[in-house]
Structure formats: C-alpha cells, structure tokens
Amino acid sequence: MPDSPSPHITPAPGITTSVLDLIGNTPMLQVRKFDTGLCNLYLKLENQNPGGSIKDRMALNMVEAAERDGKLKPGGTIIEATAGNTGLSLALIAQQKGYRLILVIPDKMSQEKIFHLRAMGVEVIITPSNVTYDHPDYYQNKARSLAASMAGAFYIDQFNNPANAEAHERTTGPEIWEQMEHKVDAVICGSGSAGTILGLGRFFRARSPDTEIILADPKGSVLGPYVQTGVQPKAGSWLIEGIGKEFVSPNLDLSLISQAIIVDDIESIRTVRELLLKEGVLGGSSTGTLLAAALRYCRQQKTPKRVVTFVCDSGSKYLSKIFNPKWLKDNGIPN
C-alpha cells in the first residue's frame, strides 16, 4: 500500500499533492520546420503526461470506473495485456493507489519499457509476438485466461473497456477543441485499442461534424486496408509499437473515420528522427507514423486547413531501437 500523506502538508495554490492530478491538459505545439503545404499542423504533446504517454488518460479512467463499479477492491490485482504504454500508465496508477499489477506483453516491446515496468514493481509476463490472434499465447488471450484463473483479479481489457474511449471523449477532445479555438479541420491518430480514435470521433461528430478523423496505420496492420476497402486482409508484421492490429476490433466504428493513411516502418522511423532534429521533440515510434501521415495529408490539401496530430509518447523509451544505429541496421532500416 502507498504511504499515507503527511498530515502537515497544506499545498500552496497551483500545487498538487498527487501525480495523478497532472494527467491531461497537455500542451499544443505548432510545427514550424516541416513542409506542411497550405496547412497549419499542430502536435498535442501527450509525452508530457506524468506516465509519459497518452495512455495515462484512459488508464486512470478505466481504473476509476472499475472502482466505482465495485470490480476493483482496495489492495486488489489488476491484469492487462499491453504493447507497452498502457502498462506504464497502469503501473503509475497501481503504484499510487496500492494495487498489484500483472502485465502480459508481446516480446517486441522495447527493453526500456520492460526495465521501467519492473523498476515499478510490476510482474511482467512476456509472450511471443509471432503467434496469431487466436493462439492461446497471443498476449490478450494469455491475460484473459490468467485473470480467469485468479480469484479477485480484474482484467482491465483496454480493447473492450468503454471507459477507454470515454476518457478521450471527455478530456482529449475538449482540450484540443479549446486549444485550437474551435477551429479543427482534421485530427490524425492511430489505433491500437481504438480508444483514442473512437473517443475523438464521438466528440467531434457531436461538436464539429465537418472535422475529419483520419487513421494513421503502420503497413502490415489490417486496420488501414479495412478502412480503405472494407475487406480485412491477412496481417503482416511491423516494427512500430503501440498502434496497428492483426484483426479488426469489434468496437471499431468505421462511420467515425474519414480515411486511412498507411505508413511503412522506414517512413515512420525517418520522420520521428527528423522531428527530433527539426523541432527538438523526442517522440516515440508511433509518433513517426502519425506525423508522416499528417504531413502527407497536409501536402495534399488544396485549401488551408488546421490539422492536429499527437506526440503519443517519449522517444526515450526507444533509444535502444529507433534511435540506435545497430538496431536500425539489423532491421533493414536506413540510418
């Protein structure tokens, strides 16, 4: 259990006594040193959340919803399947709230993330990433069966938990709307658990129906082709972490998505490395996919538009991979 707060602490105005209160209200940065055609492109810096990613929002909302519903009791156990950032966000929240956390993760996760999780006391179970989604060792199936075998454990299930999308509909969307002074022509985001794109899609459909919601998807994922054609292809493989899927989630609402832009690993990694050199922003691998898609979209426009995308997490979690010349060479990525 976490230590009890010191009774003599009286926070000054503007000072918080919980790191969880720092989740959200992230800054917006206008891109200046990339060619954005006729458009203005803005980056919402979700790497500034205390857990280092956009996943802090939905992780907190899912835990608090489970508490309200009585599914998560004091001192209980949370189990989740994650490709990385959701796990780190849950680790922060579980630590602060006094829960045990067990994470099932695919083996393509960066070592930095695994070290971070273990440093926070998380129990990590690593599964192969080269199995199909119907295999018992597929990370979501493994987590689900583990939770079913443990009395009192709560499988948080970000992929089917309505509190995931709700977090973005309730916080991320309104923040963008206010920061952009109610002028948003397009929002480009990825999809892993589908929470971000669903939440933003619902918010903007209600508030600004003309705002386009555009999926940026890694080549190899089935989501981009499915949005483009309505047919689910056979999944390939990709190096980018946290976005893309081997199957179409039942909760993916295509009516919210205007179009999909597919970006391969080489373009994604090149773009996120350029982001650091040009704008001084150290983004993670999925940020490269989103930014590459946003730049393509901006350069295709025939009229000026105001476009938003995300720095989903920090590149410090990928120093051994996308910022490592040896790893790039070993994976056939030009340095």
Same structural domain for residues 313 and 214?
yes
Residue 10, pLDDT score:
64
Banded pLDDT at 9 (limits 50, 70, 90): low
Same structural domain for residues 252 and 307?
yes
Residue 90, pLDDT score:
96
Mean pLDDT of 98-125: 90
Question: Which of residues 84 and 204 earns the better pLDDT score?
Answer: 204
Same structural domain for residues 83 and 188?
no
Same structural domain for residues 301 and 221?
yes
- CATH code assigned at 316: 3.40.50.1100
Mean pLDDT of 41-63: 97
Same structural domain for residues 300 and 237?
yes
Domain boundary among 105, 130, 155: 155
Q: HEC states along the chain?
A: CCCCCCCCCCCCCCCCCCHHHHCCCCCEEECCCCCCCCCEEEEEEHHHCCCCECHHHHHHHHHHHHHHCCCCCCCCEEEEECCCHHHHHHHHHHHHHCCEEEEEEECCCCHHHHHHHHHCCCEEEEECCCCCCCCCCCHHHHHHHHHHHCCCEEECCCCCCHHHHHHHHHHHHHHHHHHCCCCCCEEEECCCCCHHHHHHHHHHHHHCCCCEEEEEEEECECHHHHHHHCCCCCCCCCCCCCCCCCCCCCCCCHHHCCEEEEECHHHHHHHHHHHHHHHCCCECHHHHHHHHHHHHHHHHCCCCCEEEEEECEEHHHHCCCCCCHHHHHHCCCCC
Asked if pLDDT for residue 55 goes beyond 50, the answer is: yes
Domain boundary among 155, 185, 210: 155
Asked if pLDDT for residue 164 goes beyond 80, the answer is: yes
Same structural domain for residues 120 and 246?
no
Same structural domain for residues 71 and 111?
yes
Mean pLDDT of the chain: 93
* Chain segment 28-48, per-residue pLDDT in tens: 999 999 999 999 999 999 999
For the chain, the domain total comes to 2
Asked if pLDDT for residue 131 goes beyond 90, the answer is: no
Banded pLDDT at 208 (limits 50, 70, 90): very high
Does the residue 3 lie in any domain?
no
- 278 flagged as catalytic: no
Residue 284, pLDDT score:
95
Does the residue 126 lie in any domain?
yes
Residue pair 278/33 in contact by the 8 Å Cβ criterion = yes
Residue 11, pLDDT score:
64
Phi-psi domain of 24 (left: phi exceeds 0; alpha: psi -120 through 50; beta: other) = left
Domain boundary among 110, 131, 155: 155
Among 33, 44, 55, 326, the active-site one is 55
Mean pLDDT of 218-242: 94
Does the residue 307 lie in any domain?
yes
* Chain segment 274-328, per-residue pLDDT in tens: 999 999 999 999 999 999 999 999 999 999 999 999 999 999 999 999 999 999 9
Mean pLDDT of 249-268: 93
Same structural domain for residues 317 and 208?
yes
Q: Which residue range forms the structural domain that includes residue 26?
A: 19-53+171-328
Does the residue 287 lie in any domain?
yes
Q: Round to whole Å and give the CA distance between 36 and 27.
A: 20
Asked if pLDDT for residue 102 goes beyond 70, the answer is: yes
Mean pLDDT of 170-175: 98
Same structural domain for residues 180 and 290?
yes
Residue 8, pLDDT score:
57
Mean pLDDT of 132-161: 91
Same structural domain for residues 127 and 249?
no
Same structural domain for residues 186 and 296?
yes
Same structural domain for residues 130 and 221?
no
Kindly tell me the burial class for residue 266, based on how many C-beta atoms sit within 10 Å of its own C-beta (0-12, 13-18, 19 or more): middle
Does the residue 121 lie in any domain?
yes
